Structure 1
Amino acid sequence: MRTAIVLFTRDLRVHDNPALASACATAEQVVPLFVFDPELAGRSPNRDRFLHQSVTDLREILRSRGSDLVVRQGDPVAETVRLAGEVGAEGVAAAADVSNYARRRERRLTAEGERHRLSVRFFPGLTIVDPGALQPGGGDHYRVFSPYHRSWTAAKWRDEVGVPKKVPLPPGVQVGRLPAAPAGASPDAAPGGETAARQRLRGWLRNVEEYDDGHNDLAGDRTSRLSPYLRFGCLSPLELAHAALGKPGSDPFVRQLCWRDFYYQVAYAFPEISHKAYRRGATEGWRDNEEAFQRWAEGRTGVPIVDAGMHQLRREGWMHNRARLVTASYLTKDLGVDWRRGLGEFYRWLLDGDVPNNSGNWQWVAGTGNDTRPYRRFNPERQRERYDPTGEYVARYA
């Protein structure tokens, strides 16, 4: 193949990027492309800022390797096909994804590829094990985590791919300008980009053995905080798993990466995960209490650990996982407010709020999802006593 386009979506990196590696191995010229999609903009200022930072960083990395990132704004399918015509591309490579929106985009791109005689291929890379690769007997996906974890652990993972030595951009391509950087909303949000991701990864690998004992310590904050970089593909989950497995005591952390894959395979089989109850027969007698919801969203419930979690969310665009469980349980089990309201509020602020994990975890807590104990409730006072006994976390985010 003479010329191929690599359409970056949620794989904003050059390390272990199968779509990029394949294009560089099979085409004489490669055009890296990112399209700012107006349909996805404006929903979350934090997301918009992190995405812009990640795309900016990707462009700088590609330029340091003698290439560049072509930037367009508009419908990703239309812009990809238009660019293919401009550069005479014969193929398009992109990462496969599981959300409803992403799968519609893939179907449209495939159809346009056929119409314009473009070879369109989708590659793994957003998960460790492909979402549809593991299936239980008599079913299309795993509904319970434990058997999925056993199957996932025994599965053969794909090989990591190296960084291409060259990304040969055709001469004369109009690369385009990046749009103005959005302001964001959370003042203490982590910066986006593969460079920041790899710096945080190196620091985390020195402490991963502390994860099992410390990951529920709210004040200690001994988690990786790599989830935003996984969400935008600034970091390969497979590379992270391989790197962690080489460290003592890493199994509990790698188990959390399996949870991430678990929800991707759930969302792949149940694409309505953000809108419909996953569990058949789930009771959804939610209360319509706008005032209670607003107090929760703004951290004004009067319950210290709940309010601290919501303050952290707004300040950092991130929340400790233990606090996520407590705040979500309080909204759905104590206030009786529909989980979809909480899901939307988290999407508004979270840097790592992807469809499979944000939706899957909200349904798990609400009792409408994959929890085998759907009536489970996280008592906020007991949670505070156990995981923030000195009150340091609550004081930090008061």
Structure 2
Amino acid sequence: MKTCVVLFTRDLRVHDNPAFASSVGAFDVVLPLFVHDPALPAGDNRRAFLRGALDDLRSSLRARGGDLAELHGDPVTEAIRAAKTVGASAIAMAADVSAYARSRETRLAAACESERLAFKTFPGVTVVPPSAVRPGGGGSHYKVFTPYYRSWEAFTFRDVVGAPKKVSLPADAPKSWFSTAIGDAGETAARKRLSSWLADIAAYGDIHDDLAADRTSRLSPYLHFGCLSPREVVDRAQGQEGAEPFIRQLCWRDFYHQVLAAFPALKSKPYRANAEDEWRDEKDALQAWQEGHTGMPIVDAGMRQLRAEGWMHNRARLITASYLTKHLYVDWRAGGDHFFDLLLDGDVANNYGNWQWVAGTGNDTKPYRRFSPLRQAERFDPTGEYVRRYVPELAHIPGKAIHQPWELPAAQRRGYPAPIK
């Protein structure tokens, strides 16, 4: 019998998973495998979310007669070891774009060639593969979003792939290991959330910037871990009233993945040549920002939401990032690393692409753009409800005064600090 190992990475689902579906269709026996890689550090929240996603994936596989093998170590070494154990002739996986992911694929391809195993990568992490949409004139990638969006819209998307109905598992599959999980992680919860979200998508364009309403999809962690296929999300959203602004956000996700594919140093080097500012070495300011004690309520609310939930409203991400880089003049890399450590949806492409955009070192066509935190607060949290939710020491302050507590007597601020100079 022909046997294949499917190495799951950021595609933790059975629906619209080309690597998994193609392998089940082409081979008699398939070993689904996930390798916990110690070279990819993650905070407690992200580890717990991953654990929940893996538990859900295992349940879906068992419902189809399969299972999920989990190993710990270098993914190349463990995938080759697993392939030898079950007598596989091939290894398949989803292609990804970060420098580490591409190195992993290169090493695995070389190891497979050495062991005389077939190796193939498949799409699935993005709607459109990063290299599939290119500008005219021979450029490697689009540097500006709007022309990319036009080409992305005109591209013929691949068909959505159904979930295999039956999986045949090798008899001698490796054993798994377990840890603490987040209960609402995984594909099952993601698909329920998507269905619920699509029922209200018509209002997205009007309310997605309302900080207190929190009426965004909150699908980003599921997209990051691949519990949802971005291609299927677009497929289900297309044609619905009011879906265009939401689909545009999914295109932004693809945009930064193609930027990262062309510029692997996005995490550490400015994308625009000669774009670096003279950053201040302000460790105290950075720490105050990280802890949500800057004295700017809208900024502190966002930073406290991040720490408490492993997530932050996208408008708050723009405000907090701009405040760090354009007001405190702290290096965008420090902010990006902090977000990356805490966000459930933190990935290299979108996290650092957005940080560079805000800092003026990336793909923004207006690199000197600056967000006024006070104007942003008055526009997107006009009643102060968002601030009261996350900065409870200011909850007693009525109306818009909550956004400028430094104008109140110290006793009314109840220990809340003055803004950092």
Report TM bin, short chain.
over 0.9
Q: Deviations over 1:297-344 (max 9, x none)?
A: 000001010000001101110000000000000000000000000001
Q: In the alignment, which residue of structure 2 is the partner of 1:6? A: 6
How many angstroms does 1:46 deviate by?
A: 1.6
Contact in 2 for aligned 1:126/1:236 (Cα 8 Å): yes
Distance across 1 between alignment mates of 2:343 and 2:56: 20
1:92 matched to 2:91? yes
SS at match of 1:128: coil
Q: In the alignment, which residue of structure 1 is the partner of 2:135? A: 136
Distance across 2 between alignment mates of 1:181 and 1:36: 14
Q: In the alignment, which residue of structure 1 is the partner of 2:241? A: 248
How many angstroms does 1:173 deviate by?
A: 2.2
Q: For CA contacts below 8 A with separation 6 or more, give which structure has more relative contact order.
A: 1
Q: 1:97-176 to 2 correspondence within 5 Å?
A: 97-138=96-137, 139-174=139-174, 176=175
In structure 2, which of residues 219, 228, 233 is the aligned counterpart of residue 226 of structure 1? 219
In structure 1, which of residues 278, 287, 310 is the aligned counterpart of residue 280 of structure 2? 287
1:341 matched to 2:334? yes
Contact in 1 for aligned 2:280/2:330 (Cα 8 Å): yes
Contact in 1 for aligned 2:29/2:168 (Cα 8 Å): yes
Q: In the alignment, which residue of structure 2 is the partner of 1:201? A: 194
1:49 matched to 2:42? no
Q: Deviations over 1:263-316 (max 9, x none)?
A: 000000001000000011203210000000000000000101000000110111
Q: In the alignment, which residue of structure 2 is the partner of 1:178? A: 177
How many angstroms does 1:66 deviate by?
A: 1.3
After superposing on structure 2, the runs of 4+ consecutive aligned residues of structure 1 that deviate more than 4 Å are none
1:374 matched to 2:367? yes
In structure 2, which of residues 198, 205, 208 is the aligned counterpart of residue 215 of structure 1? 208
Q: Deviations over 1:140-195 (max 9, x none)?
A: 00000000000000000001111011111122323x1323227xxxxxx8832111
Q: In the alignment, which residue of structure 2 is the partner of 1:185? A: none
Indicate the larger mover: 55-64 or 22-31: 55-64
Q: In the alignment, which residue of structure 2 is the partner of 1:186? A: none
Residues paired across the two proteins, number: 390
Counterpart amino acid of 2:229? S
Contact in 2 for aligned 1:56/1:178 (Cα 8 Å): no
For structure 1, the residue ranges without an aligned partner over 5 or more in a row are: 183-188
Contact in 2 for aligned 1:5/1:31 (Cα 8 Å): yes
RMSD: 1.1
- Please give the TM-score of this superposition, normalised by the length of structure 2: 0.91
Q: In the alignment, which residue of structure 1 is the partner of 2:38? A: 38
- Please give the TM-score of this superposition, normalised by the length of structure 1: 0.96
Counterpart amino acid of 1:280? A
Distance across 2 between alignment mates of 1:365 and 1:244: 28
Q: Deviations over 1:337-370 (max 9, x none)?
A: 0000000110111000111000100000000000
Indicate the larger mover: 47-56 or 307-316: 47-56
Distance across 2 between alignment mates of 1:177 and 1:109: 22
1:308 matched to 2:301? yes
1:261 matched to 2:251? no
1:237 matched to 2:230? yes
Q: Deviations over 1:109-146 (max 9, x none)?
A: 00001000111000000101100111112310000000
Contact in 2 for aligned 1:44/1:347 (Cα 8 Å): no
Contact in 2 for aligned 1:11/1:17 (Cα 8 Å): yes
Task: Give % identity.
Answer: 61
Counterpart amino acid of 1:209? A
Q: In the alignment, which residue of structure 2 is the partner of 1:29? A: 29
For structure 2, the residue ranges without an aligned partner over 5 or more in a row are: 392-421
Indicate the larger mover: 189-198 or 234-243: 189-198
SS at match of 1:94: strand
Contact in 1 for aligned 2:271/2:361 (Cα 8 Å): yes
Contact in 2 for aligned 1:36/1:72 (Cα 8 Å): yes
Q: In the alignment, which residue of structure 1 is the partner of 2:311? A: 318
Distance across 1 between alignment mates of 2:152 and 2:183: 30
1:354 matched to 2:313? no
Q: Deviations over 1:218-251 (max 9, x none)?
A: 0111110000000000000011011111321101
Counterpart amino acid of 1:173? A
Distance across 2 between alignment mates of 1:395 and 1:220: 13
